[in-house]
Chains A and B, each alone.
Chain A
Amino acid sequence: MEDIGLWGVPLAILGGAIRVSTPFIFVSLGEAVTERSGRINLGLEGTLVFGAMAAYAVAVETGSPWFGVLAAMAAGAGFGLVHGWICSFPRVNDIAVGIALMLFGIGLAFFFGKPYIQPSAPPLPAIGFGDWSDIPQVRAALNVNVLFLFGAALALALWWGFKNTKIGLIVRVVGDSADSARAMGLSPTTVRLFATAFGGALAAIGGAYLSLYYPGSWNERISSGQGLMAVALVIFARWNPIGCFAAAMLFGGAGALGPALQSVGVTQGYYLFYAAPYILTLLIMIATSSPGRQLAGAPGELSITK
């Protein structure tokens, strides 16, 4: 085996970014759609965990990881519909319902997931973009899961769709001004219901990736708060799908810093490097916001007091 020395660090970060970022991409894209319609869904962490469980269980039972992903999407859409339905009542607070549904989703996943901790499910396929190389690190870094490619394409499609499709424009109208939407004869509640369901389905794909590819097993510690972080990433990305993708990559890359340094023998401050993504997020959030002004790009209907 050839030793590539310090080159291993950026390579490991790239590989890590691709591997770790996928759940963030899906959850943040889902949340971006939901928030663009004027609703916050904090429950995506629960949806993610339940999606991971549902995908794993269905993959075990049917032998096909793709059925698993579909099952996760259906479950996620279900959670989204419940959230959207409850929030459509007057004087119901998005945030409180979101937190309740997050805990509900996690609890339900643990309850149904108990029998699936032991059996192993078929993993999702990956494409070896690095197969031309003899260096194992390159091959490992460029072994890209199809869901990542799908996520990247989805980010582009959503970015395009917000500008160029009727549905995209309607979601933006509803999220920016419910009064205008009503004047146009649109029902904000219905649009938000579907946007929340769509967001839930995407978040559950993120969960399916966790249990069916990386780390690739179902247990009760499968998520380390990806669902919650992704919601923060949406704000950081200013509700732009391409921005969500970039933010997820950045976050994933920072997350890979610790293991990458460890692999080349840096062992000091090991746990500190694991905190890198959070420190990075905090720093960028502080640098890009200020108390004296509003957040640019925020959908007008988004409010924590609704």
Chain B
Amino acid sequence: MSTAVSVEAVSMTMRFGAFTALDDVSVKVPAGSFHALLGENGAGKSTLVKCMMGFYTPTSGQMLVDGKEAVIASPKDADRLGLGMVYQHFTLVPSLTGAENLVISRENAPKIIDWRKERRDLADFMTTMPFRIPLDVPVASLAAGEKQKLEIVKQLYLGRRFIVLDEPTSVLTPNEAEEMLGLVRGMTKAGDLTVLMISHKFHEVTSFCDDVTVLRKGKRTGSGSLGELDRKKMAAMMIGDQPIAALDSRSATPADAKPVLTVTALKAKDRTGLKSIAVDGLTVRSGEIVGIAGISGNGQKEFLEVLAGQRAREAGEVAVKAAPYASTREQSRKLNVRFIPEEPLRNACAPRMTVAENISFRTFDLNKDGKPVAWISARAIRTYATKLIEQFKVKTASLSSPIQSLSGGNVQRAVLARELTGEVDLLIVSNPCFGLDFAAVAEIRARIMKARNGGAAVLLMSEDLDELMELSDRILVMSDGALVYETPIASADVHVIGEHMAGHH
């Protein structure tokens, strides 16, 4: 196997029109080191690595590979120098098998593929790898962790000696993440590989990386070896001095709290129609947050869709405050059920309708006494929306901008404004902070906690275990379409939860 190379980016600047995405940033990654690139969304991490890999042509700045000046004008140039990147969103082709993916990604793939020979070569190659991955099944049927490993294997198979990992653990269980990072760390230690990892998880950075560079708003705000920096310093470099909403302290759930959501023997088909989800029993009481952990694709999405009325259920009962609940608008209004689904622009908004209209979806056809109105008043919609926009700090150019023109955080704030206004008895939330920045995440979590303390029953589904650990009173694990594990937060152990998520029990 080839040996690691050192890579250095010197004074990288990237301007898109008047906007400076990257301002004079330098990063030095010595051969065989594991370097972390920390920063919030929009801090310029992706821009920096894309400039390094030749996806963007930087406005100014240069690259040194193995101490020598290198011109990287396109990803092909990066290839030639042995530089590769593993994207956050997988670039494996889902319907092809692992072996097919590897062979076709090779520049010199033969016109007619002699599978017997290729398989033998692949088997030889895999013996030099620390990963074991099935190569003969379609990639779509691999677990996220296996896909991530296959992406890394692919880079090594292509002879890369420097790889960029873009938030490699965002879709992995904690155990998978630790295993994967440990193996990568071993390879850098052995001098086979140099790694630059984009991350925003401090615990990963502190336990696996050698050095760190922190970016904020396109500028380098600090760097150093992990020995000299602690989390507090890194956080300060990352977010600067902007205010962060504090989480309300958790008020105790009253012992006699009434069950609000009761699910019994629920069955529904999943998206492929081949498997089904089965939730035997689930109760969420008022004043508690019940978290559901699970790797994406294990039925959480389908479960939420059933509760939201987006997917038909085959059997079972859903009751809210002891009344049967069939997810009609009337019932959700009467029983005060509110939803904050994932991908809010897709699942909770009409993207081309205005911000004001989207905010008023729950109330536009009611008058002050909650009775249906015959004529819808545009003025009432605007007044109502103005009030909520101010209260929830939604940043929008105007009330009549289409909601799809807002940034992700502001779409989420607008949905929160709609869903958390008025009385809320049951709040069903899914991945509320996906892709949002530090400040927005803190604010949204604070609002969910506030709703809980106000007596709402909250069902929170999330792929982010840290989020569940921070907010939940109880954590349940969903694996393969069923709830397989339950633990109160006091005795919750991330590793035990991770094992259940991976279906090892």
Task: Point out residues on A near B: beta carbons under 8 Å.
Answer: 163-167, 169-170, 172-173, 176-177, 179-181, 183-185, 290, 292-294, 296-297, 299-300
Q: Is B115 an interface residue (CB 8 A)?
A: yes
Given contacts A183-B87, A184-B105, contact A294 B272 (CB under 8 A): yes
Could you tell me the distance between the alpha carbons of A300 and B92 in the complex, rounded to whole angstroms?
A: 12
Which chain A residues lie closer than 8 Å to B274 at the CB level? 293, 296
- The residue that A169 contacts in the complex, of B94, B96, B269, with Cβ under 8 A, is B96
Check B271 against A176 for contact (C-beta < 8 Å).
Answer: no
Chain A residues, CB < 8 A from B17: none
Q: Judge whether B93 and A177 touch: CB under 8 Å.
A: yes
Given the complex, which residues of A lie within 8 Å of B111, measured CB to CB? Answer: 165-167
Q: Closest approach, in angstroms, between the C-beta of B278 and any C-beta of chain A?
A: 15
Task: Give chain A residues whose Cβ lies under 8 Å from the Cβ of B103.
Answer: 169
Contact of B91 among A163, A180, A294 (CB under 8 A): A180
Closest A-B pairs by Cβ, 4 of them: A293-B273, A169-B104, A183-B91, A180-B91
- Report if B113 contacts A (CB, 8 A): yes
The residue of chain A having its C-beta at the shortest distance from the C-beta of B273 within the complex is A293
Q: Could you tell me if B272 and A184 are in contact, using CB atoms closer than 8 angstroms?
A: no
Q: Pick the most buried of B95, B105, B269, B271: most chain A CB atoms within 10 A of its CB.
A: B95
Among the listed B75, B104, B270, which residue makes an inter-chain contact with A173, where contact means beta carbons less than 8 Å apart?
A: B104
**Given the known A-B contacts A165-B112, A166-B104, A185-B76, are A172 and B273 also in contact in the complex, defined by CB atoms under 8 Å?**
no
Inter-chain contact B112/A164, CB cutoff 8 Å? yes
Q: Does B123 contact A (CB under 8 A)?
A: no
**Least CB distance, A301 to chain B, in whole angstroms:** 10
**Bound Cα distance from A176 to B92, whole angstroms:** 10
Minimum CB–CB distance for A161 against chain B, Å: 9
Interface contact A180-B92, CB-CB below 8 Å: yes
**A176-B95 in contact (CB<8A):** yes
Residue of A nearest to B96 (CB): A172
Q: Which residues on the B side are within 8 Å of A172 (C-beta)?
A: 93, 95-96
> Would B91 and A292 count as touching, CB distance under 8 A?
no
Beta-carbon contact of B272 and A296 below 8 Å = yes
Q: Please tell me if B387 contacts chain A, counting CB pairs below 8 Å.
A: no
Q: Which residues of A contact B95 (CB under 8 A)?
A: 172, 176, 297, 299-300
> Please, which residues of chain A bring their CB within 8 A of the CB of B301?
none
Which one of A165, A180, A296, A297 has the highest number of Cβ atoms from chain B below 10 Å of its Cβ?
Answer: A180
Q: How far is the CB of B450 from chain A (nearest CB, A)?
A: 37
Which residue from A173, A290, A292, A297 sits with its C-beta under 8 Å from B93?
A173
Q: Which of B75, B91, B272 contacts A179 (CB 8 A)?
A: B91
**CB atoms of A292 and B104 under 8 A apart:** no
Q: In the complex the two chains form, what is the Cα distance from A299 to B95 in whole Å?
A: 8
Interface size for chain B: under 10, 10 to 19, 20 to 34, or 35 or more residues?
20 to 34
Could you write out 30 A-B pairs with CB less than 8 Å apart?
A: A163-B100, A164-B112, A164-B115, A166-B111, A166-B112, A166-B113, A169-B96, A169-B109, A172-B95, A173-B96, A173-B104, A176-B93, A177-B93, A177-B94, A180-B91, A180-B92, A180-B93, A183-B87, A184-B91, A184-B104, A185-B75, A292-B273, A292-B311, A293-B269, A293-B270, A293-B271, A293-B274, A294-B271, A296-B272, A296-B274
B99 CB, nearest partner CB in chain A, Å: 11
Chain B residues within an 8 Å CB radius of A176: 93-96
Q: Is B312 engaged at the interface, CB distance under 8 Å to the other chain?
A: yes
Q: Which residues of chain A are near B311, meaning CB under 8 Å? A: 292
Give bound CA distance, A164 to B103, whole Å: 11
Nearest Cβ in chain B — how far from A285, in angstroms?
Answer: 15
Chain A positions within 8 Å of B75 at CB level: 183, 185
- Smallest Cβ distance from B262 to chain A, in angstroms? 24
Shortest CB-to-CB span from B118 to chain A, Å, is 10
The chain A residue with its CB closest to the CB of B105 is: A184
Q: How far is the CB of A244 from chain B (nearest CB, A)?
A: 17
Does any Cβ of A come within 8 Å of B89's Cβ? yes
A183 to B312, CA, bound (A): 38
Tell whether B110 is near chain A: CB-to-CB under 8 Å. Answer: yes
Q: Which of A163, A167, A297 has the most CB of B within 10 A?
A: A163
Smallest Cβ distance from A78 to chain B, in angstroms?
A: 26
In the complex, A181 Cα to B95 Cα: how many Å? 13
- Of B87, B100, B115, B312, most buried by chain A (CB within 10 Å of CB) is B100
Contact residues in B for A290 (Cβ distance below 8 Å): 269, 273
B74 CB → nearest A CB, Å: 9
Q: Closest CB-CB distance, A174 to chain B, in whole Å? A: 9
Q: Which residues of A contact B93 (CB under 8 A)?
A: 172-173, 176-177, 180-181
Let me know if A170 and B104 touch, CB within 8 A: yes
A299 vs chain B, min Cβ distance (A): 7
Q: Mark B108-124, 1 if CB is under 8 A from A, else 0.
A: 01111101000000000
Complex formed: what's the CA distance from A164 to B109 in Å?
11
What separation, in Å, do the CA atoms of A177 and B140 have in the docked complex? 12
Specify which of B87, B93, B113 lies most central, judged by the most chain A CB atoms within 10 Å of its CB.
B93
Q: How far is the CB of A113 from chain B (nearest CB, A)?
A: 40
The complex places the Cα of A176 from the Cα of B311 at a distance, in Å, of: 26
Q: Is the CB of A300 within 8 A of B94?
A: yes
In the bound assembly, the distance between CA atoms of A163 and B115 in angstroms comes to: 9
In the bound complex, residues from chain A placing their C-beta under 8 Å from that of B91 are 177, 179-180, 183-184
Nearest CB in chain B: distance from A295 CB, A: 9
The complex places the Cα of A284 from the Cα of B431 at a distance, in Å, of 39
| Given A183-B87, A184-B105, A185-B75, A293-B113 contact (CB < 8 Å) | no
CA separation between A85 and B298, bound complex, in Å? 41
In the complex, residue of chain A having the shortest beta-carbon distance to the beta carbon of B276: A292
